[in-house]
Chain A
Amino acid sequence: MSAIANSIFSPELAARFDKLVTIYPAKRSALVPMLLYAQDEVGYVSEAVIQEIAQRLDLFDLEVRSVLSYYSMLRTKPAGKYNIQVCTNISCMLRGGYEILDHCKKKLGIGHKQVTPDGQFSLEEVECIGACCWAPAMQVNYDFHDELTAAKVDEILADYSAGKTPGDTNKVSE
């Protein structure tokens, strides 16, 4: 039973949030992860998400909005099912990051922070994602793809379009 009646989240996420607010010395510490995990499930940080998180953490909506507007990964509008984030920061820039970005733009027919009409893909130019030695790199949702070429991007996008997870994502085998 969730701590919140009529939670907008799935029972699993609601249960996760119930626990999350108990593990820190101060429950407000759960705010940033909660916003991100809520976005993962809902697709974006909606008004309803803001209100429920505020209620869970005993905060004003305004306090949640203030934090929400600070972090670049949090969004208040839906993105595509697959959000493509191409890094153009210095290391990627030197190894073709801009070509990859331009290729994605042409291929998808959309620009920075736009979504394809079918809602499948969205595109973002992002700052350094920490894959500098494997540049150029991008993330599709949370999956890293690196040492990219235009041809490799085509394969990756085709895989996602077909509902498959491309083979080179960072799944770790033990």
Chain B
Amino acid sequence: MPRLVSHPDEVKVLSRRFGLGATNIDKYLELDGYAGVQKAIAKGPDEMSGWIIAEMKASGLRGRGGAGFPTGMKWSFVPKASPKPKYVLVNGDESEPGTCKDHILFREDPHAVIEGTMIAGLAVGAKMGFIYLRGEYRYLLNIVEKAVADAYAKGFLGKNIFGVEGVDFDIVTQTGAGAYEVGEESALMESLEGKRGIPRIRPPFPAVVGLYGGPTIINNAETIANAPHILLMGGENYCNLGSPRNGGTRLFGISGHVERPGVYELPMGYPLRKAIYDVAGGIKGGKQLKAVVPGGASCPVLRADEIDVGLDFDQMAKAGTMLGSGGIVVLDETVSIVEFALRTIKFYQHESCGWCIPCREGTDWIKKTLTRVYEGGGQKKDIDNVQYLAENMMGRTFCPLGDAAAMPTLGFVKKFRKEFEDYIEGKKAGTPIMTTEHDLVGAGH
């Protein structure tokens, strides 16, 4: 069972209802549930949208899926008048390796996601929202579906919500069926429209032309679930919990070689070193730290001497990596970076949808080359070849999957080049973990 964890340094905003039975709508109501959305509706039709967007902008909330785009600004991009219906699409296709925060959010507080979806809808003038969960999360889909049904039964969804004339909002839940690529916003729309999850070229951006051709707000589930809290506590108060230009708190999933792995809610800007050594209890079994993948598998690795950095979008960018999805994967001294790099690229090769050639071919050739190195047949030029391949994927694909595969690869070969060279010469660091030889074959291959 996903275990709930706790640490005194946590600042619980989003997670404050975790473990309190808030899947039950009455319990959720007891804990200020659906108060944020009603506060917005009470502003009246003329001021509601402007007020919500102003609060969201003041909150400094940035997209929790990984890109870190300011949410209030994103919402303000949706045109006021549109000949086509507008939509809200909640991305719960959580699949970035190292990330399980939305898992626990859906499990513990599904109504917060529903309420946030309604708030986004009211802000942009959408009357319909979709909550898309990855196919593997069936038990969570059942939880969310029940929560949606309960909200309908109370009159919180449907026509004239909360008894207010002319305020309508519907929510449809949707399941995926196994595809990392669908976590990318344009591929997500394709999937929801019943197609293969391949990306769309932008512009036009979804806020202008999205689902079914209508303006669409697409937000990560954690981002959306913050909206009710922001409206209740005030955007500025939320903002002040975090670091400059990085408002609020965030669910960080700390996994790998730590004593107390778990999902912790920490203020933005919290020191990474403390997150590993205090919050997560330090390196498992008293071993030494070797490296950290700080925000899901696609983020460039940090060496043990690079972890004195704050967990926010700007500080991580300055450190040459990304905050990403907030999934912090900790590697101890026993890990072979050659092996870890291979396992990482195997994933991206498997998940490349095959639409853009640099990604489809690049991930495949990096995997082949690293496999050869791993199996002992590597040549020195292989390291340069891997780097060349990765550099030529960067920025040359419709969606960020190409970059997501190239960035960690570049991080591994640049920061641990000596380890790759030694490995090729037969001096292999670390203890091998992988045992399978077969290739996972992805949709694009």
- A residues touching B (Cβ–Cβ < 8 Å)? 23-26, 28-33, 35-36, 57, 66-67, 69-74, 88-91, 93-95, 98, 101-102, 111-112, 125, 127-135, 139, 142-144, 146-147, 168-174
The yes or no answer to B100 lying at the interface (CB within 8 A) is yes
A–B Cβ pairs within 8 angstroms, 7 of them? A73-B135, A125-B440, A127-B347, A133-B253, A134-B3, A142-B136, A171-B139
Residues B256 and A95 in contact, CB atoms below 8 Å apart: yes
Contacts of B2 in A (CB 8 A): 131, 133-134, 144, 146, 170
Chain B residues within an 8 Å CB radius of A24: 172
Chain B residues whose CB sits within 8 angstroms of the CB of A93 once the complex forms: 340, 343, 433-434
Most chain B CB within a 10 A radius of its CB, from A36, A132, A133, A135: A133
B406 sits at the interface (CB 8 A): no
B98 within 8 A of A: yes
The answer, yes or no, to whether B246 is at the interface (CB within 8 Å) is no
In the assembled complex, B389 has its CB within 8 A of some CB on chain A: no
Q: How far is the CA of A30 from the CA of B178 in the complex (A)?
A: 16
A98 close to B97 (CB less than 8 A): no
Tell me the minimal C-beta distance from B355 to chain A in angstroms.
Answer: 11
Interface residues of B in 224-262 (CB under 8 A from A): 253-257, 261-262
CB-defined contacts of A132 to chain B, threshold 8 Å: 97-100, 253, 255, 261, 327, 329
B49 on interface, CB distance cutoff 8 Å? no
Q: Which residues of B sit under 8 angstroms from A128, Cβ to Cβ?
A: 95-99, 180, 297, 347
Question: Is B212 a contact of A26 with CB atoms below 8 Å?
Answer: yes
**Smallest CB–CB gap between B44 and chain A, Å?**
28
Q: Which residues of B contact A28 (CB under 8 A)?
A: 193-195
Name the residue of chain B whose CB is nearest to the CB of A97: B433
Q: How many B residues have CB within 8 A of the partner chain? A: 73
In the bound complex, residues from chain A placing their C-beta under 8 Å from that of B257 are 94-95
Instruction: Report how many A-B pairs have Cβ atoms within 8 Å.
Output: 193
Q: Report yes or no: B196 in contact with A135, Cβ–Cβ below 8 A.
A: no
B194 lies within 8 A of A130 (CB): no
Instruction: A128 to B136: give the CA distance in the assembly, Å.
Output: 10
State which residues 120-160 of B face A: CB under 8 Å. 128, 134-139, 143
> Are A90 and B293 neighbours in the complex by a CB distance under 8 Å?
yes
Find out whether the CB atom of A91 lies under 8 angstroms from the CB atom of B329: yes
Closest A residue to B143 using CB positions: A172
Task: Tell which of B102, B138, B443 touches A70, judged by Cβ atoms closer than 8 Å.
Answer: B443
Nearest chain B CB to A12 CB, angstrom units:
16
Chain B residue at minimal CB-CB distance from A144: B139
With a cutoff of 8 Å between Cβ atoms, the chain A residues found around residue B207 in the complex are none
- B178–A73 touching, CB < 8 Å: yes
Is B113 part of the contact surface with A, judged by Cβ < 8 Å? no
Name the one of B137, B143, B178, B327 contacting A71, with C-beta atoms under 8 angstroms.
Answer: B178
CA–CA, A139 and B103, complex, Å: 14
Most buried by B among A28, A95, A171: A95
Instruction: Known contacts A70-B196, A94-B329; decide if A130 and B95 are in contact (CB<8 Å).
Output: yes
**Considering only CB atoms, which chain A residue lies closest to B3 in the complex?**
A134
10 smallest CB-CB distances across A and B, nearest first, come from: A73-B178, A31-B194, A72-B178, A71-B177, A28-B194, A142-B138, A91-B255, A128-B97, A132-B255, A70-B196
Alpha-carbon distance A168/B3, docked complex (angstroms)? 11
Neighbour of A32 across the interface among B85, B96, B194, B293, CB < 8 A: B194
Taking a contact as CB atoms under 8 Å apart, the answer to whether A94 and B178 are in contact is: no
**For residue A112, which residues in chain B have a CB less than 8 angstroms away from its CB?**
436, 438
Q: Which residues of A contact B330 (CB under 8 A)?
A: 94
Query: Once the chains bind, are A71 and B176 in contact (CB under 8 Å)?
Result: yes
Contact between B335 and A32 (Cβ–Cβ < 8 Å)?
no
